[in-house]
Amino acid sequence: MIEGDIRDDDALDRATADIDIIFHHAALISVEASIRDPERTHDVNVTGTVKLLERARDESARFVFASSAAVYGHPDTVPISEDAPLEPTSPYGLSKLAAERYVRLYADLYDLSAVALRYFNVYGPGQLDGDYSAVISVFVDQAAAGDPITVEGDGSQTRDFVHVDDVVQANLLAATAEETGTFNVGTGESVSILELAEIVRDLSGSDPEITYTEARAGDIDRSRASVSNIESSLGFEPSLSLEDGLREII
């Protein structure tokens, strides 16, 4: 365990000495924070990625990059395939897209063995409150406390929630396969935020009121991954349903 900043050359040198595989998950992930401070988001998410790619090139290491469905922005259709238009709507999404492009450039220019995984909405035990998929942890905490479950907007927006166990599966497959490229990591299923609130309420054994607050700026309406590419290329198979994953957390 080496604790350090992704932008710190000394920490990176120590972390990447004599390694074979790099799983790159270091990032600022808050969309709202990226809107407030785009320069810092770019510095960590893009410059930090280039620094790490340089270490991968030095060590001839396999590079597995955690990207995001935020690179798609507002999709024209769902499910979203990897060749869908890339129109991020926040500095966070743009930073992930720029980092992805660097990963692809290094693969092409320096023959680096690299994979980019576009995570959809990841959730699981131990998740901290924050922007990414914390709607689940927020709903669970609210239900457990007997507080109203607060839905942003009208709750019709849909998301593809993928359990962290399946994200780990995708990373291990990406690390050990010969294939390179870019792959969605999701379930291929989606649920509305209102339906999610109702499932959490039912599984919690309580009966909290569901209330509505103002919609979050820049929120996308629909999201669902096409996972046929990662299934056929890497052998990925989502293993945990949303209801089972929520039951585990609750």
Answer whether residue 25 shows pLDDT above 80: yes
List the beta bridge partners of residue 34: none
The 10s digit of each residue's pLDDT in 102-126 is 999 999 999 999 999 999 999 999 8
Residue with tokens 């290094």: 106
> How many residues belong to the chain?
250
Tell whether 4 is covered by a domain. no
The mean pLDDT of 64-76, rounded to a whole number, is 96
Q: Check residue 121 and give its pLDDT.
A: 94
For residue 192, the enclosing domain spans 9-249
Buried b (16+ CB within 10 A) or exposed e, 130-163: eebbbbbbbbbebbeeeeebbbeeebebbbbbbb
Gap between the Cα atoms of 152 and 135, Å rounded: 9
Q: Check residue 129 and give its pLDDT.
A: 62
Quick check: 91 and 34 in contact, CB under 8 A? yes
Tell whether 175 is covered by a domain. yes
Q: What is the mean pLDDT of the chain?
A: 94
- What is the set of active-site residues? 92
Answer whether residue 133 shows pLDDT above 70: no
| Number of domain units in the chain | 1
Residue 118: give its domain's CATH number.
3.40.50.720
131 falls in which pLDDT band (50, 70, 90)? low
Tell whether 113 is covered by a domain. yes
The mean pLDDT of 91-110, rounded to a whole number, is 98
Give the residue among 102, 109, 105, 19 at the shortest CA–CA distance from 67.
Answer: 102
Tell whether 93 is covered by a domain. yes
The mean pLDDT of 225-230, rounded to a whole number, is 98
Tell whether 3 is covered by a domain. no
Tell whether 97 is covered by a domain. yes
Specify the pTM.
0.94
Tell whether 182 is covered by a domain. yes
The mean pLDDT of 137-153, rounded to a whole number, is 93
Tell whether 14 is covered by a domain. yes
